[in-house]
Amino acid sequence: MAGIQAPPFWQMAMSANGLDPNARVDRWQICRFTPPTHIMIDVGVALAGRGGFDAAPEHKAYSVVVDFITPETETSHWYHWGMARQFKPDDAELTVKIREGQGKIFNEDMQMLQLQQANISKWPDRKLLLLNIDSGGVQSRRIIDRMLAQEQANSNHEPEGIITGTTA
């Protein structure tokens, strides 16, 4: 997004990095999905017209958000998250502020995720809505579905080169 007002989190990050929090920015969010459970997101803002993602460090505030999801049961999982920021990494007070802010965001999501799981458990055969606004999630589900289909197809026949039989 080019030439926008930074959202509140990024205004705080800009200020922490010595940038004018009211300046127009170019914002990006680049998601990398490694199936089946890892997501890394390059996210940040740079002063408008300074190169966006490729701007020099003194003109931007950015981070890599990490989301690692580990199944626990058939209907629950562990969600490990964090942010590796690329500005003021030695500022312990800023680390606490960001951790608390991210924690609030994830806790707000928790209730919705629990309600979604309750609906999936109640209606397991109902097809999930695939909304354009969630294209990353839609694409990742499709990748996982293809991987599961391939895994199932491979388990239905013996691997090549394996000879089996019985003798009397």
93 and 37: one domain?
Answer: yes
29, part of any domain: yes
- Per residue of the chain (168 residues), what is the pLDDT tens digit? 999 999 998 999 999 999 999 999 999 999 999 998 899 999 999 999 999 999 999 999 999 999 998 889 988 888 888 889 888 889 999 999 888 888 887 888 888 888 888 998 999 998 877 777 778 888 888 898 899 999 888 887 655 655 555 555
What is d(CA 87, CA 34) in angstroms, rounded to the nearest whole number?
A: 25
99 and 139: one domain?
Answer: no
149 and 69: one domain?
Answer: no
pLDDT at 63: 93
Structural domains in the chain (count): 2
141 and 94: one domain?
Answer: no
Global pTM reads 0.75
| Residues across the chain | 168
162, part of any domain: no
pLDDT at 159: 58
Instruction: Write out the residue range of the structural domain in which residue 140 sits.
Output: 127-154
Q: Do the Cβ atoms of 47 and 55 come closer than 8 Å?
A: yes
29 and 46: one domain?
Answer: yes
Residue 70, H or E segment: strand 60-71
161, part of any domain: no
pLDDT at 164: 54
pLDDT at 108: 81
pLDDT at 104: 83
